[in-house]
Structure 1
Amino acid sequence: MAARKPTGNFDLENSLSHLLRRAQQFAYDQFVQQMGSSAITPRQFIVLFAVDEEEGLSQTDLVNRTGIDRSTLADMISRMIKNGLLARKRTAEDARANSVRLTAAGRRALKSAMPKAIAAEKALLDVLPKTLQGDLLKGLTHLNAAIEDMKTEDAAPKKTVKRTPAKKKPAKKPAAKKAPATRRKKS
């Protein structure tokens, strides 16, 4: 194996973003392995679970609850409706918003997937010693809470400094027009 070249201050083996991506890939692989022939993806499972927990959530609420971006979630919900897992209707409160609910097929799919999702979570945590599992979950919970707080602060309307309107200066009186000087005839 070739020696690593020094790369300044960045270290791939200690890069949080890189390590999180690798761990996420392992988690995804565990989920797919446990699901077997089921066509439910990890994100679809999360959507089904969130809707089951709180029937009638709006798509905006689902974005906030799942962390899936708005356009991806809209596409997912459309596909899940087409596959008979979800149903959507306009909310009474806001005719522009859609509420989402599980269909009977969606409820069956979630019930079938639940033990497999739990087994995937267990397989992921079992990679670590029991003494580190709680710390990992606690650290990731804090990280995600801080990220959500940051997003909320960024989305909040910025405080604007109220400026008092400048006092208007009294309008200048137009200067009196001078009558054109008449020339005297020289005699």
Structure 2
Amino acid sequence: MSNRHPRVAHLRGVRAFPRSALRRRRSAPLEQAPAGIAWAATSADDTVQQILDNTLRSACAVIGARGGFVVQLRDDTVLEIACAHALPGQDVFDAVLGTASRALHCALLEGRRGLACPGGKLLEARQQAAPAVISLPLELGARRQGAFCLLREDSDRALNELDFEILDALAGQAALALAAACQRSALNRLEASLNAIGPQTH
């Protein structure tokens, strides 16, 4: 039996992302994110984490998802995992690099809802009532994109328009929390910079 750490899932559908955002991963400890993916520092605020976790928990309860996560694409094309609910880190990485990659591409880079089957292939319009992966775009500002992603094991239950309206509303709450965290972080950086400069004398 090998003591090596497990590898992240094969890169099915990842070509849709910019190359610099998701690069092929070398073998690395489970605690480390693959190159181009990071656990977010911008939403480390306890209140923001609680809001994100609560919105993910509610969304999972509405559609019977096994778990979900919120990601944001930073200006430097690093994909940040802002929060994960009911999913260990390895499952999140596997989803980002595998089954959820095409759905995330729709949400992050095209600003539209991404729905995929268990294998990760995007669903056609007639199949969209029973997705295994749901990725909703988050409005985070002009230069930042985000996605609210849910993974379902029981994709036999069809989703209706009311389900999607509720999910859109929950994704909107997550977007507001992330945007507020980003503004606080920017203000804190500005304050630190001003303090470092010190009072100006003429």
**Higher normalized helix content (fraction of residues):** 1
Q: Same fold (TM over 0.5)?
A: no
TM-score, normalising length: structure 1? 0.29
TM-score, normalising length: structure 2? 0.28
**Higher normalized strand content (fraction of residues):** 2
Larger Rg: 1
